[in-house]
Structure 1
């Protein structure tokens, strides 16, 4: 792959822990910290030795850590204004721009950030001119909230338990899966509320639970299901899509305005099903109408694409970190074609 041979990334050294050069490596926003750590790992083959040899420039701040450290003292008074987050990021960019020539020469078009926090998209909204060309790698890839598919990168949201890089493989053979569709989760947002309203604890084939019955295992139930329902919560991003893929269960996408991860190279129609929100009541009819032969093809492709959503440290070719970098590489190539004068 040309990217593996050529792509070099400079990670800025400015800033101190914990807001930059660090991030969560476990639980909900784990991939944010894993990516920052990978970029700063001396084993990283994309690591530029000097900024002059870099094709892209990474700003290693963690939105999750900014929220935790800047907002935590005031969250008790329900002050969720984004201006504090925006000031931190804007000040960091200005430090980088003042100390180095690279941001200014390209107006930020070869620079990128990485965030899986729900507030990640908000960092640039207060100063759209400054961030007009900036590449944002975001899990919360909502086109109705300013996500730009040609400029931004949709990243897979991945939950990592402490000390683990993924869940155990508990998926059954597709012919032995007795549950048609499965979901378990809280009523976060109107889409889940609709799903629970129509299906909660009402059907043996479409098993939808707000809370799992005592003694049942979430991962095992996914592994016994042909289709795994992946509705939006309060935001479009959800780790359920990747959890479904890990369980070799065909994801059923129930989201509005969501730009699916790595859509530059992955055709999601080949290994997932998309159901419009207004068809939630018809989930069983829609899924039962899919011929078993087609389901088998979808499921085999889920198995095939699984490697693109796996986390390895150090990263491996074609895994999720390399897929994110490949998406940045593609956008960097576009910048080169559009801006030949630098």
Structure 2
């Protein structure tokens, strides 16, 4: 190897010594030496690799701890039970004595809250010591001028859930609503910073996974990059233009696939590896509430159609609040798992099905899904139009038409994408290296894809004459 390197060096030196060579050849010679030096030096190769691995620079807004980890202190120090959970479900209630000496407390195990824990895992990755972050796609920077985006570290979902658990009746009010007070504190702080002023907030990232997170200030953060589980509850119909009959007429919008990112819920059921999969006797399984609002009317009709069908199990109840083992058994012994629309187009149930290798049957015409363009859901899910699903005897017959080979292929493909929907990195408080193929990195990759559009919007806003505003528009498809 040394002889070969010496030979290459001699050849290059000979070429460079010919006096008749033009300047361009001389430059080529210098470039050759440079590349030779760089790529023969392992230390430099490693540095190049680490630098190129970070693809988005993230600056963290300097919010007080009371608006993120301080909310966990509040949760775990509380002895007030969540009024929305059954009184006998004690395992999901705060237990203050368990976490007294921890610097970074765990996120609540209460399933109503845990499914929205994305804010916790993204924050934990960003504040992990830099020497442990070589697998992270986001590169934390401390100079605003180097930042592509500004992350706002407000645990908006936990803030909302604390209010809903303690005094749900005050949630939509402003007086006596601690969540509203925190929302205002965040906005009053962030909007006065140089970071916000340079972009009008368009390069700021908020995590709003609970459909009611930051409910009172949504119009003020509409220009920002919003991480949401779906767009349910964000659109307002223009009843005057559509006579209240068309869901396509939107009065205004605060969300768009152009700037925002759909993120997966935190799954509640443990992962089933393909090697552990066993026989599945049930054709179709569903566990959840029969009666829901808005889009949930489809669920009620499906329930009535399917509840007495052979090979179909329809169980009433919130998945995993009191029946974790029942949910695990139901999903792991069923070929297909039903995913109808509820209050919003999607739910945590979809990601529990994926982790259980139960083929999702998605009956939700307006659903938006995480990481589309990176993964193809049709390779491991079945999509059914609402009109077809509501035809008597149609859905069961359709699912029975899939061959054993097709279903096995679905599960094989599902096993490949299971890690993509995983947030938990297995470290206390989430402080530590993350899975490079996990959900946090995929979220930042999606944000990175939107940077050109975000930068264009910032430039367009700057050239507007005084007094001229940019209307909020959405061209989502």
TM-score range for the pair, normalised by the shorter chain length: 0.7 to 0.9
**Shift in Å at residue 72 of structure 1?**
5.2
Task: Give the distance between the partners of 1:58 and 1:141, measured in 2 at CA.
Answer: 21
Q: 1:226 aligns with which of 320, 327, 335?
A: 335
Q: Is 2:466 the counterpart of 1:332?
A: no
Task: Give the distance between the partners of 1:121 and 1:273, measured in 2 at CA.
Answer: 34
Per-residue Cα deviation, 1:42-80 (whole angstroms, up to 9, x for no partner) = 3444222333322111111122232244555542xx344
**Shift in Å at residue 91 of structure 1?**
4.2
What SS class does the counterpart of residue 8 from structure 1 fall into? strand
**Shift in Å at residue 292 of structure 1?**
3.4
Runs of 4+ displaced beyond 6 Å: 170-175
**Does the Cα contact within 8 Å between 1:22 and 1:37 map onto a contact in 2?**
no
**Shift in Å at residue 113 of structure 1?**
0.8
**Does the Cα contact within 8 Å between 1:144 and 1:257 map onto a contact in 2?**
no
Q: 1:255 aligns with which of 352, 359, 364?
A: 364
What SS class does the counterpart of residue 261 from structure 1 fall into? coil
Residues 27-106 of structure 1 mapped to structure 2, 5 A cutoff:
27-42=114-129, 43-44=132-133, 45=136, 46-70=139-163, 74-75=167-168, 78-81=169-172, 88-98=182-192, 100-106=193-199
Which structure carries more helix by proportion?
Answer: 2
Residues 103-114 of structure 1 mapped to structure 2, 5 A cutoff:
103-114=196-207
> Aligned pair in 2 of structure 1 residues 120, 257: CA closer, same or farther (>3 Å)?
farther
**Shift in Å at residue 335 of structure 1?**
2.1
Moved more, 25-34 or 146-155: 25-34
Where do 5+ consecutive residues of structure 2 fail to align? 1-48, 73-106, 236-252, 426-432, 463-477
Moved more, 26-35 or 7-16: 26-35
- What residue in structure 2 maps to residue 204 of structure 1? 310
> Aligned pair in 2 of structure 1 residues 71, 295: CA closer, same or farther (>3 Å)?
closer
Q: Is 2:414 the counterpart of 1:302?
A: yes
Q: Is 2:234 the counterpart of 1:140?
A: no
- What residue in structure 2 maps to residue 131 of structure 1? 221
Q: 1:236 aligns with which of 345, 355, 370?
A: 345
> Aligned pair in 2 of structure 1 residues 40, 175: CA closer, same or farther (>3 Å)?
closer
Q: 1:290 aligns with which of 395, 402, 410?
A: 402
- What residue in structure 2 maps to residue 192 of structure 1? 299
> Aligned pair in 2 of structure 1 residues 144, 131: CA closer, same or farther (>3 Å)?
closer
**Does the Cα contact within 8 Å between 1:170 and 1:219 map onto a contact in 2?**
no
**Does the Cα contact within 8 Å between 1:188 and 1:234 map onto a contact in 2?**
no
**Does the Cα contact within 8 Å between 2:380 and 2:410 map onto a contact in 1?**
yes
- What residue in structure 2 maps to residue 246 of structure 1? 355
Q: Is 2:87 the counterpart of 1:5?
A: no
What SS class does the counterpart of residue 418 from structure 2 fall into? helix
**Shift in Å at residue 114 of structure 1?**
1.0
Moved more, 185-194 or 214-223: 214-223
> Aligned pair in 2 of structure 1 residues 340, 234: CA closer, same or farther (>3 Å)?
closer
What SS class does the counterpart of residue 17 from structure 1 fall into? helix
- What residue in structure 1 maps to residue 46 of structure 2? none
What SS class does the counterpart of residue 10 from structure 1 fall into? strand
Task: Give the distance between the partners of 2:383 and 2:233, measured in 1 at CA.
Answer: 17
**Shift in Å at residue 159 of structure 1?**
3.8
**Does the Cα contact within 8 Å between 1:25 and 1:32 map onto a contact in 2?**
no
**Does the Cα contact within 8 Å between 1:192 and 1:232 map onto a contact in 2?**
yes
Per-residue Cα deviation, 1:65-101 (whole angstroms, up to 9, x for no partner) = 32244555542xx344265656643542331231x31
Normalising by structure 2, we get a TM-score of 0.61
**Does the Cα contact within 8 Å between 1:170 and 1:220 map onto a contact in 2?**
no
Number of positions where the alignment pairs a residue of Structure 1 with one of Structure 2: 329
**Shift in Å at residue 251 of structure 1?**
1.1
What SS class does the counterpart of residue 176 from structure 1 fall into? coil
> Aligned pair in 2 of structure 1 residues 79, 70: CA closer, same or farther (>3 Å)?
closer
> Aligned pair in 2 of structure 1 residues 193, 82: CA closer, same or farther (>3 Å)?
farther
- Structure showing greater radius of gyration is 2
**Shift in Å at residue 319 of structure 1?**
0.4
Normalising by structure 1, we get a TM-score of 0.83
Moved more, 20-29 or 225-234: 20-29
